[in-house]
Chain A
Amino acid sequence: MLALQILIDGFAISALYALGAVGFTLLFGVSGVLNLSHGAIVVVAALIGWAAASILGTYLGNLVGVLAALAAAYATYFAVVRPIQRSPAIPREETEIFVLTGTLLWSIMIQVGAAWWFTDNPVTIRPLIAGVVNIVGVRTPANEVMIAVLCWVVIGLLWLLVNRTRAGRALLAAAINPRGLVLLGFELDSIYLLVWTIYGVLAGIAGVLLASFLGVGTNNIGQLTASAFSIVVMGGLGSVSGSLVAAFVVGYLETLTAYLVAPTLRPVPALLLLVLVVYVRPQGLLGRR
C-alpha cells in the first residue's frame, strides 16, 4: 500500500521535474546557455496564470500563464542573454560566466518584483479536473493523474518535433556543430529563437501545472532553478534523455525520503547523489562530454 503510494506520488512529481528540466537542458545543448532565471520564468507562468484564471476562467488562465512564460523567456533572451553574447567588451571565453551572472541577477529582479506585486505567498490554480480517483486503494487526485499524462504527452510532442521535423533536426545539428550549420546556410539566430520559444512554452506548462498540483510562489524560485540545474547536471549537460532519467531518479529519491525517513529531509539524498555523480562521473549519467 505504502509502496504503491510512493510509486504513484513519485511518478507525478518526477514527470513534472522532467518537463521542467527538458527545456532547460535543450537550451544548454543548443545554445550553450545555462539559464539561472529558469525558476523565475516558471513562477511567472504560475502567478500570471493564477491572476488570469480569476478573470478568464481556468483554461484560458492556464493559456495566459504559458504565454506569460514565453514572453518572460523572450525577455530573458533579448534583454539579458543576447546583449551579453554580442557584446564586444566581453571576451568570448568569459561569455558563459557573464550569461550565468546576468540570468541570476535577472532572476532576482523578477523575484523581488513579483513578490512586491503578488506577495510572496504561494498561489494555486484550480485543478483542470476536480475530485479523486481510487488507484488500487490509493486515493489519488484526478488532477495528479492528468498532470503525469500531460507531462509525457508534451515530452512526446517535443521528441516528435526534434526528430521528425526539419526545424527540429536543425536544432540537433546546432547542438553538435553550430559552425557547420552556418556553412549550410542556416541562420543561427532563428535557431536560437526557436529553442527559446520551445523552452518558454515548456517552462510555462511546467509552471501552471505545478501551480495546480502543489501551489507555487516567489519563494520557490531558487529551489526550482536549483532542482532543474541538479537534474540536468546529474543527467549530463545537454542530454535530453539523461535529464529524463535523472528527473525520475531525483523525483523518486525525494518521495522515498519524504515517506520513509522524514518529509523535512526530502531534498537531501538527491543532493548527496548529485555530489557523488559529479565526483565519480562528471559528465553525468548519459552525458556526452
Chain B
Amino acid sequence: MSKPHLLRPALFAGAACLALAGVAQAQEPIRIGVIGEESAVAGASITKAAQMAADDINAKGGIAGRKVEVITYDNHSSAADGVRAFQRAVSQDHVVGVIATYISEVALAIEPWSARLHMPFITTGAASNEISKQVHKDYDHFKYTFHGWLTSAFIAQSICDAQHDLLVTGLHMKTAVIMSEDAAWTTPLDERYMDCLPKAGLQVLDHIRFNPDTTDFTPIFRQIEAKNPDVIVTGISHVGVQPTVQWRDQQVPIPMVGQSSQATTSTFWKDTNGAANGVVTASAATPGVALTETTIPFTEAYQKRFGDSPSYTGYTTYDAVHYLAEAVGRAGSNDPDKVVAEMEKTNYLGTVGRIQFYGKDDPFTHALKYGPGLVTGVTFQWQDGKQVTLWPADKANGKLQFPPFVKTQHAAN
C-alpha cells in the first residue's frame, strides 16, 4: 500500500505538468512560414493556397487542439530575399516549419539555412534534382529539407510516359526537338528527356537551351522548323507567355508539349489572349478532374475565393500545409527532429495523389514518391479556354486537339 501512496503525488504532479503543457499547446498555434513569389504567375498560388489550407484546418478544429497559423513572405523571385525571409520566419516569427518557392535557385539557397537552423523546410514548386540529392549525400545535416513537388527527373519521366501514350501510340510521331529555358531545374529535366524520349519512341533531333531573358523567339522557332520534328518538347517556367503567343502569331506548324509551368493556371489563357489554345503541359492536377476526393473541392473553393484556378504550386502547397501540420501534431511538439521523423512517415491523401517521401537510402531522399497510386502528375491541353486532361488515361476527360495551323498528319506518313 505504501508504494502507490508514495507514487501518487509524483504521478499527480506529472499529470498536472502534462495537462498544463497540453493547455499551453492548445493555446499556442502551429505557426508555418510560407514564402511565395507574389509577382510571378506560378509562385503567386503558394501563399494563397497555404492560407486556404490553414482556414480549412482551423474550421475543422485545428490539429490536436492547436490552430494553424500561416505567416506569409514574398521573396520577389530572389534567392537573397528568400533566405532573408527564411531567417526572419525562424528567428523572429518562431515558426515550426517553412513552405517555400517554385524557383529551384531559391530553394537551393534556402536549403543550407534549413540545415544550419534545424528548421523543417518543404519546397512545393521547385524541381531541381539537387534539392533531394543533397539530403541523400549528407542526411544528418540536410534531413530538414523535403521536396513537396516532383523532381525534374520525375517530371521529365511523367512527360515521356504521357507523350508515349498520346503522341507515339496515338499519332505515330517519331521525332522531337527539346526547347528549354536555361535554369537550374531544366538541367536534370533535359538530361532525363535525352534519356527517356528515345525510349518513349521520340528521336531527339536537336536540343535547344535559351536564355530566360529572351523576348523574340522567332529565330529559335526557325531553327527548330529547319529540323522538321514532329513535336517540340518544352521545359519552361520563368518564360511562358512570349513563346506561346509568338508560336500562335507566327503559326509555327509544330505542336508544343512538355512542361510549361505558367500554363498551369487559368490566368495564362488571359495573359496570352487565348494563344495557349493547343498547348500541352504537365501539371500537378487540373480543375474538374478528381485525382483524389479533395482535388475538386479545393480547386472550386480556390477559384471562388481568388477568381483564377491555382497553378501547380497551389495544389502542392495546400497539401503541404496539411501534412506538415499533421506531422507536428503527431510529433506532439515543435522539436524539429521529431517533426522530421514524423514527416518521413507521411502517408497523406492530398489533392495531387497519395503523398509519401523517399527514404534515407534512396538517391532522391525526401522527394515525393512518383508512380501510379502515388503522385504521377497529369498532362492536359488548353482547348478553347479550358484545361482538358489527357493523361493518365483513367483521368482523361478529352482528346488531343490542335489548332488548324499545327500539322500533325505528316507524322503518320
Interface residues of A, Cβ cutoff 8 Å to B: 5, 9, 13, 54, 115-116, 119-127, 131-132, 139, 141, 143-144, 214-220, 223, 255, 258-259, 263-264, 266
Contact = CB atoms under 8 A, between A and B. Distances in A.
Given A9-B216, A124-B241, 18 more contacts: A5-B222, A54-B270, A119-B39, A121-B241, A121-B267, A123-B271, A124-B242, A127-B249, A139-B250, A139-B251, A143-B249, A217-B241, A218-B39, A219-B213, A255-B219, A263-B216, A263-B219, A264-B182
A264 B211 contact: yes
16 contacts: A5-B222, A9-B219, A115-B39, A116-B39, A119-B38, A123-B241, A124-B245, A131-B251, A214-B216, A215-B245, A216-B215, A219-B213, A220-B215, A263-B210, A263-B211, A264-B214
Nearest to A144: B249
A179 B275 CA distance: 54
A122 B214 contact: no
Given A9-B218, A119-B39, A258-B216, A214 B246 contact: yes
B40 interface: yes
A120 B39 contact: yes
Contact of A119 (B40, B217, B219, B245): B40
B271 A121 contact: yes
B188 interface: no
Contacts of A119: 38-41, 44, 267
Given A127-B249, A132-B250, A263-B220, A121 B211 contact: no
B314 interface: no
A252 to B, nearest CB: 13
Contacts of B187: none
Given A127-B249, A263-B214, A215 B241 contact: yes
Contact of B271 (A124, A131, A255): A124
Contact of A121 (B41, B217, B250, B275): B41
B160 to A, nearest CB: 26
Given A121-B271, A263-B210, A263-B220, A116 B38 contact: yes
B25 interface: no
Nearest to B43: A119
A215 B218 contact: no
B240 interface: yes
Point out which of A123, A216, A263 has the most chain B C-beta atoms below 10 A from its C-beta: A263
B266 to A, nearest CB: 13
Given A223-B213, A263-B220, A214 B40 contact: no
B251 A215 contact: no
A214 B240 contact: no
Closest 3 CB pairs of A and B: A258-B219, A120-B39, A215-B242
Interface in B218-254: 218-220, 222, 240-242, 245-246, 249-251
B346 interface: no
Contacts of A220: 215
A121 B210 contact: no
B27 interface: no
Contacts of A258: 216, 218-219
Nearest to A124: B245
Contacts of B40: 119-121
A121 B240 contact: yes
A124 B248 CA distance: 12
A72 B41 CA distance: 26
B77 interface: yes
A122 B242 contact: yes
Interface in B59-113: 77
A264 B273 contact: no
B180 interface: no
A132 B251 CA distance: 7
A125 B273 CA distance: 7
A266 B273 CA distance: 27
B272 A124 contact: yes
B262 interface: yes
Nearest to A265: B211
A264 B39 contact: no
A13 B241 CA distance: 19
A214 B38 contact: no
A233 to B, nearest CB: 21
Point out which of B40, B213, B242 has the most chain A C-beta atoms below 10 A from its C-beta: B242
Nearest to A219: B213
B126 to A, nearest CB: 18
Point out which of A121, A216, A218, A258 has the most chain B C-beta atoms below 10 A from its C-beta: A121
A143 B262 CA distance: 25
Interface in B5-51: 38-41, 44
Contact of B241 (A122, A259, A264): A122
Contact of A214 (B182, B215, B251): B215
Contacts of A266: 214, 216
Nearest to B239: A122
A170 to B, nearest CB: 38
A132 B210 CA distance: 25
